[in-house]
Chain A
Amino acid sequence: MTSDNQQRPPRPMSRRALLQGGAATVAAVAGGRLLGSRLDAPAPTTVRPAAAVVPPVTEVHFAATDGWVSMPSGARQNPPFWPDSLAPSPFDLYVFGFRDVTGLDDATVKAQRGKAQISAPLLAFDQGTDIKLTLTNLGLSVRPDLTDGHTVHWHGFQNAIPLFDGVPELSISVPIGRDFTYFYRPHEAGTYMYHCHFEDVEHVQMGMTGVVFVRPAQNKAPVGGDPLGTKYAYNDGDGSTRYQREFAFMLTEIWAEAHYRDAHIQTTDWTDFSPSFWTMNGRCYPDTLAPNGNPMTTTAGRLQYQPNSSLITANEGDRVLLRLANLGYQNHSLTADGITLTTVAKDAAPLVGRDGTKHYLTGNSVEIGPGESRDVLFTAPSPGTYLLYDRDYGYLNNGGGGGYGGQLTEIRVSPAGTLGPQTTPNS
């Protein structure tokens, strides 16, 4: 340990890293945040020159706290657990979660205590970029008696060192009112996920889960005569993972009884796990179709703190990339009626042998276990509405009631040329 590394940023809540970045920070931030909390829409990612000796730096600031969200109002009630009597209108479910507070001043950051969102902000970075992610623990507004720490575990990051892996027992975690900056330099493109690893069975279930993906270097050096600006899922060498539109999905289950018990100062035996809601990006159908929102405004009403849309839109003929991640505790199989799905990667690793042979999988469903990711490509068929849903019909309801709900969303295909180029994922 050198004394240089014993330096603490000034208290409270260091803004040092951000202040150092200046204007460059703002530009870099645009490359890292996609669906966030800032009022100004993030600019589309600019293609940076190839990394020199010093890679470009992206700085992100997250806050961890608790809050309230909403499950579909027509769901079967499960008194006293759901809807929760403590929930302020228009909400009904207690959660823990992350918030993207990049660029906000200290007072505004602190004001986000009790305003967690699910799923967590969608993060995207470029391969070879340096990432500094500062996590601030704002504490739990509903449970001031608790002293829980929080961490960020970038799930699947290769060759990590323990300090940046976010496992409390093998590194450190962030106390309430403090912050810690994680450093990442991703060398492997692909779809990953992140979550808090403090009391993981509780904090993951409570909502501290999000998708993070890494764009391949090949985007800056297209293959096969493709123009600059072409997007690829991986460094495939042959354009086989080329796509026009991308949509990320965090699949989770919500066990409403455990959320109630956390809010009401009771304990849960996690081996009794028995979920009642099945979510895509923190929402159940039909909420999955609502547009992307902004947790800093009340525009979205009861979905204010569930800003991530699951609606898929495309033009006929577009290649569409589904980035699927599962941080529930159950296996899921997704299917899209009438659409052939090609899985090009599992767990951020392309299905390519060590001898270079490709072994992509083509079918009409994609199976994904807890903690796994899948990159799935399809070609948008003729105009119309198609459904993407969990093939376990038992998960297609809300709160155990009848009707359609849970992990179900729509693929809306327009005639070729209708939609302009996609500028941000899930839009």
Chain B
Amino acid sequence: MNPTRSPRFTSAAPVVLAVAIVVALTMPMPSAAAATTDGLPCEANSANTFSLDAKAGYVSTPDGNSIYMWSYSSSTKAFQLPGPMLCVDSGVTVTVVLHNTLPEATSIVFPGQHHQRANGHPAQPQADTTGLTSLTDAAAPLTGSVTYTFTAGSPGTYLYESGTDVAKQREMGLSGALVVRPPGQPDHANGRADSAFDLNREYVYLLSEVDPDLHLAVERKRAFDVTKTKARYFFINGRSMPDTIAPTGAAWLPNQPYGSLVHLKPFVPGDPDSRPALVRYLNAGSVNYPFHPHGNDQRVITEDGQPVQGAGGSDASYDKFLIDIGPGQSADTLDQWVDAEHWNGETNPIPVPLPQLQDQIVGPGTETWFSENPYLGGQPGEVPAGVVRNNQCGEYYMVAHSHALEQATNYGASFGGMMTLVRIDPAAGCPS
């Protein structure tokens, strides 16, 4: 690393956060401390009917950029990226009314759902004399609408996304997550008994990427070549690290409502109340996103809405330390962190020393998530002057990020991009 990078290559996150911290002295403002939000922020209703507007808006990236995006938003709410998380039960009839406000035709496809209809007839690819124009019935520019209905497929995680001018509209952000649950068993990922999870520990990672040049061209109505995109920003639920660890609904990210901080406690084998978390991966991009949760395997139990099983229902699920999601694919994983060694400062100390502060690099930026104490729940220790400690009570943080490491950057700046944290609280909880 060159410590005197030109501004473009300097991770702006610490700068922004430093400003935030200064401001925080006078008014409530966020720091990059990872705030927890438990449970999935589902859009759900008894009629399984959703009204979505396709509209334009802006999102912010941690380095201070602002990007023009297209997305789906609830008709009663402001622009958001990605589209609302829709939650339904398998087998129900779902109605999605699309209202188009964009300057070109758009539509929604629902991969993995059955009996898809549009305006009362079977949804069909659209063509004119030049050939295929849309994968499904589309809403006309600016004012058009389409009413889609379908029967929700098998339990799992699915994308809904644009079926019109797909290379461009996918890049512009027209996608969202559809979570399908087993009827009467919302705490099961699929129909199998071994798919139980903690409903308060359920997360969606909708993975995507952005070439800001294309977005600027669309915003300014300039020509562009969609085959020449070069992704610079990499999103989980429309946010990049460190915004990914901000809480769901964070006020300072008004158009990017969904966080992705996973919040765990040490797993207690045999305790019925100690269930694994569920992480639902979705790839809304056009390349693989090889996602690596640190310090913890995750067990892949559902792929593309199908339980991972073999002949006769045998369990074919598997542990992975890297979940490699291809474009359009999904995977649901169980996640639990076990306190394997029970390190304890008095009774079972770690067998190697923690160096004195002068012999450590802390950060290396202006903040750390380390407590300066190796022990879970231990009293946080001293950090160097000028370094902010985003650690409340000795909780552990593990990182989880794309291992195509250029995707774990904000326009090339490290510790950004397609990255989030896993927060492990002490068994007794965090007293804040």
Contact = CB atoms under 8 A, between A and B. Distances in A.
Interface of A: 1-2, 4-9, 11, 17, 130, 132, 145-149, 153, 155-163, 165, 167-175, 178, 180-183, 185, 187, 198-202, 204-205, 265, 267-273, 327, 329-331, 346-349, 351-355, 357, 359, 369-372
Given A1-B373, A369-B288, A168 B364 contact: yes
B341 interface: yes
Interface in B370-418: 370, 372-376, 378-379, 381, 396-399, 403-406, 408-409, 411-412, 414-415
A270 B309 CA distance: 39
Given A270-B409, A359-B316, A165 B295 contact: yes
B115 interface: no
Contact of A353 (B315, B321, B340): B315
Interface string B18-59: 000000000000000000000000000000000000000000
Contacts of A153: 294
Interface in B258-305: 288, 290, 292, 294-297
A173 B361 contact: yes
B360 interface: yes
Contact of B398 (A160, A180, A349): A160
A301 to B, nearest CB: 32
Contacts of A7: 353
B341 A346 contact: no
B130 interface: no
Contact of A271 (B322, B349, B411): B411
Given A165-B294, A173-B361, A265 B2 contact: yes
A347 B370 CA distance: 27
Contacts of A157: 295
Nearest to B241: A169
Given A353-B314, A353-B316, A149 B354 contact: no
A172 B382 CA distance: 13
10 contacts: A2-B345, A11-B359, A156-B322, A160-B294, A161-B374, A170-B369, A175-B361, A201-B414, A267-B2, A370-B404
B9 A8 contact: no
B339 A200 contact: no
Contact of B412 (A146, A170, A269, A359): A269
Nearest to B293: A156
Chain A interface SS verdict (over half)? loop
B156 to A, nearest CB: 18
Nearest to B369: A170
Enumerate the 9 nearest inter-chain pairs by beta-carbon distance, A residue then B residue, closest first.
A353-B315, A371-B403, A160-B295, A369-B324, A349-B319, A156-B321, A357-B314, A201-B405, A159-B340
B322 A372 contact: yes
Contacts of A162: 295, 370, 396-398
B103 interface: no
A355 B398 CA distance: 29
Nearest to B266: A159
Contacts of B341: 161, 185
B407 to A, nearest CB: 8
Interface in B321-346: 321-322, 324, 337-341, 343, 345-346
Nearest to A153: B294
B114 interface: no
Given A175-B361, A199-B1, A347-B320, 14 more contacts: A2-B346, A11-B359, A158-B296, A161-B343, A169-B368, A170-B369, A172-B362, A175-B359, A180-B355, A185-B340, A331-B288, A347-B322, A349-B321, A351-B318
Interface centre among A158, A346, A370 (most CB of B within 10 A): A370
B232 interface: yes
Given A161-B343, A174-B361, A370-B403, A181 B353 contact: yes
B294 A329 contact: no
A158 B398 CA distance: 12
A202 B414 contact: yes
Interface centre among B296, B322, B351, B381 (most CB of A within 10 A): B322
Given A173-B360, A347-B322, A204 B405 contact: yes
Contacts of B403: 327, 329, 369-371
B370 A172 contact: yes
Given A146-B3, A172-B361, A159 B296 contact: yes
B222 interface: no
Contact of B320 (A5, A269, A349, A352): A349
B414 A6 contact: no
B5 to A, nearest CB: 6
A371 B316 contact: no
A1 B363 contact: no
A369 B290 contact: yes
B227 interface: no
A218 B9 CA distance: 50
Given A7-B353, A158-B295, A158-B297, A201 B320 contact: no
Interface centre among B361, B370, B375, B415 (most CB of A within 10 A): B361
Contacts of A163: 350, 354, 370, 374
B74 interface: no
B365 interface: yes
Contacts of B231: 271
Contacts of B368: 169-170
Contacts of B421: 170
A204 B318 CA distance: 27
B432 interface: no
B321 A347 contact: yes
Contacts of A161: 295, 341, 343, 374, 376, 396
Contacts of B405: 200-201, 204-205, 270, 329, 370
Contacts of B318: 346, 349, 351-353, 359
Contacts of A175: 359-361
Contact of A347 (B2, B319, B399, B412): B319
Contacts of A172: 354-355, 360-362, 370
Interface string B216-257: 000000000000001110000000000000000000000000
B317 interface: yes
A329 B355 contact: no
A205 B1 CA distance: 12
A1 B338 contact: no
B397 A8 contact: no
B141 to A, nearest CB: 33
